[in-house]
Structure 1
Amino acid sequence: MVLEFIGPSYFTSTIRGNIRWAATELFEVPDDDDEHEAAAVSLSTECDIYSFGSVALQVMTCKVPYYNVKKDIVVLSQVISGKKPVPPKESGIAPSHWAFIQRCWLPRANRPLVGEIIAFVSRERRALVS
């Protein structure tokens, strides 16, 4: 998978359609010309946590992130500018769920840890079966 992120094919094949779930830092332009170093630095557990927040939003609202934006290029512009997705007004997403999702989209160092994600999913799963 890492090889897929190295080189120009990343932006032409991988990103298309995945922008709505990808971490903001994956779209940062490196200061230097070393693509390989920039790509390796960007891939992280924190990126997965960001994506988890986007998937959670989709699961809880039945709408993709940025559901109200049709073109991926516009979504990319919003991602780069730091604008985060919003839930549909009719979704009825619980405030505690929305707060947790928003934590997943914080800057890398402030995102929940993997253990917190596991605890969140376990807690919600238990609530469904009880």
Structure 2
Amino acid sequence: MEFIGTSYLTSTIKGNIRWAAAELFEVPEDNEEDEAAVSLSLSTKCDIYSFGSIALQVLTCKVPYYNVKKDNAVLWQVMRGKKPELPKESQIAPSHWDFIERCWLPRASRPSVRDIVAFVARERQARVS
């Protein structure tokens, strides 16, 4: 595969780092550009992470890491495991923030697509009622 490795990801994802799953920026220990490692990284679980970031932006009107100006500084925070903060002036419901934070958990602990669909359906129904 021609797009394997972090150089592809950092050059291709630039500008989107704020929404991308942290595991997309991990460098394999043996520094081999292994196709299996990339296919493991590019998964639905990455989309779940991104959903949490998009939900944060939609519910707060602020991009993830809104308090960090430069994308390379965001990348540094992501690689250190620091998650986006809830804007202090935000009026997001605690249950929404909890769900967003669950989307940013380690890959195996993130909500499923079914959980995301149920969350959106509940919120949609609550708005209609």
TM-score by length of 2: 0.92
1:67-109 Cα shifts (integer Å, max 9, x gaps): 0100000000000000000121111110000000000000000
- What percent of counterpart residues are identical? 70
Q: State how far apart, in whole Å, the 1-side matches of 2:124 and 2:2 are.
A: 34
Q: State how far apart, in whole Å, the 1-side matches of 2:52 and 2:102 are.
A: 8
Q: State how far apart, in whole Å, the 2-side matches of 1:105 and 1:116 are.
A: 14
SS at match of 1:91: coil
Q: State how far apart, in whole Å, the 2-side matches of 1:30 and 1:42 are.
A: 11
Name the counterpart of 2:47.
48
Which segments of 5 or more consecutive residues in structure 1 lack a partner in the other structure?
none
Q: State how far apart, in whole Å, the 2-side matches of 1:82 and 1:128 are.
A: 34
Q: CA deviation at 1:38?
A: 2.4
Tell me the matched-pair count. 127
User: How do residues 1-130 of structure 1 correspond to structure 2 at under 5 angstroms?
Assistant: 5-6=3-4, 8-12=7-11, 14-32=12-30, 33-130=32-129
Which segments of 5 or more consecutive residues in structure 2 lack a partner in the other structure?
none
Q: State how far apart, in whole Å, the 1-side matches of 2:9 and 2:73 are.
A: 19
Runs of 4+ in structure 1 off by over 2 angstroms are 3-11, 34-38
TM-score by length of 1: 0.91
SS at match of 2:73: helix
Checking the alignment, whether the CA contact within 8 Å between 2:60 and 2:90 is kept in structure 1 is yes
Q: State how far apart, in whole Å, the 1-side matches of 2:34 and 2:10 are.
A: 12
Q: CA deviation at 1:5?
A: 4.0
Q: 1:4 to 1:58 in 2, by over 3 A?
A: farther
1:31-72 Cα shifts (integer Å, max 9, x gaps): 231243322221111100000000000000000000010000
